[in-house]
Amino acid sequence: MRRRGRPACGPALPFHPVEGSSGFRVSDEQRERAAQQLREHFAAGRLTEDELDERVQAVYSARTEKDLRKLLADLPRLPATPQEVKAELAQRRRHLQRRLIQETGGGIGLLIVCTVIWLASGATGQFWPIWVAIVVLIPLLRNTWRLYGPAPQLDRVERELERRERGTRRHQHRRR
């Protein structure tokens, strides 16, 4: 177990309390994050050395999230660290990837049905289910490139998925 006065190992993440949870007790990790934020504000010139010492002592003796929020209330929110930006980008990318796969799943099912029909009818002539595959796979490949290519365009993928979703909802609404 780590003592309260020792600095934490690893990157300092910002203290983000849960809404409406001011009565919850804080962990040592949350105290370390709040203390690190105070140190960064000191480095930016927002706190004097005396204020820093006083607030850091108060942070280490804080028991609830409300206590920590009081100590940081008069200070602006710090910009996101590169690690936070990278984590947010990865989380957003995973979310968009799941949505993309979900939307493509129906088209893949249709491709399988068409291929089974083609096989059941003797599999002669041209492989006509390729046209279904093209319609399904081109948007998937294009958006995958936008997600993982050299210059990710997450906003563009998100807009296209939203547009498709609105189109699907409009189409369903008309059918009723």
Model confidence over 86-133: pLDDT tens digits? 888 889 889 988 888 888 888 888 999 999 999 999 988 899 999 999
Q: Could you read off the pLDDT of 50-91 as tens digits, one per residue?
A: 999 999 999 999 999 999 999 999 999 888 778 888 888 889
Question: How far is 129 from 136, CA to CA, in rounded Å?
Answer: 11
Helix H segments across 1-81? Answer: 28-43, 49-61, 65-72
The CA distance from 172 to 176, in Å, is: 7
Of 100, 167, 99, the residue nearest 138 (C-alpha):
100
pLDDT the model gives residue 22 = 61
Name the pTM for this structure: 0.48
Q: What is the pLDDT of residue 142?
A: 87
User: From CA 23, how far away is CA 71, in angstroms rounded?
Assistant: 15
pLDDT of residue 16: 52
| Interatomic CA distance for residues 171 and 176, integer angstroms | 9
Band (21; pLDDT cuts 50, 70, 90) = low
Which two structure tokens, joined as six digits, stand for 115?
């291929």
The helix or strand, by DSSP H or E, that contains position 88, with its residue range, turns out to be helix 82-120
Average pLDDT over residues 1-15: 41
What are the φ/ψ torsions at residue 64 (nearest 5 degrees)?
Answer: -120, 165
Mean pLDDT of the chain: 82
Which residues, listed in sequence order, are joined to residue 64 by a DSSP beta bridge? 25
